[in-house]
Amino acid sequence: MAKAIWNGAVLAESSTFEVVEGNIYFPADSVKREYFVDSSTHTTCPWKGLASYYTVVVNGQENKDAAWYYPEPKPAAKNITGHVAFWKGVTVER
C-alpha cells in the first residue's frame, strides 16, 4: 500500500501504483480530488512528455505545484497514463 500525505491529510492511497525514476505514481481514482487545484504550470520531460501540475490545498494552506501528471505521456511512459505523483514536502510512504 502506498500513501501520499501532506499537512495531516491523506492525498492519495492505493495498493496499485507505478514507480518511475523513484517516484510513485498513484492511479487517478486513488487521489482525493478535494485537495487539488489545477495549476497553469507545465514542464517537459524528453521521454515522458508534457507534465501538468496541481496545487495541493489542505486546511487553507497551499503547496504550489506539489503534484504532477502526464495527460498524454509519450509511448515509453504509457504506464503512467492517468496517474499522479508528488513532491515538495508531500510524504509518500510505501
23-48 residue pLDDT tens: 999 999 999 999 999 999 999 999 99
DSSP 3-state assignment of 75?
Answer: helix
Region 75-86: mean pLDDT is 98
For residue 14, the model assigns a pLDDT of 98
Please give the sequence-ordered ranges of beta strands (E in DSSP) within the chain, or none if there are none. 2-6, 9-14, 18-20, 23-27, 36-45, 49-58, 61-69, 83-86, 91-93
- Give phi and psi for 78, each to the nearest 5: -60, -20
**Measured between alpha carbons, how far is 48 from 62 in angstroms, rounded to an integer?**
27
Q: Which domain holds residue 58?
A: 2-93
DSSP 3-state assignment of 47?
Answer: coil
Give the number of domains in the chain: 1
For residue 78, the model assigns a pLDDT of 97
pLDDT tens figures, 47-78: 999 999 999 999 999 999 999 999 999 999 99
Q: Which domain CATH number covers 71? A: 2.170.150.40
For residue 53, the model assigns a pLDDT of 98
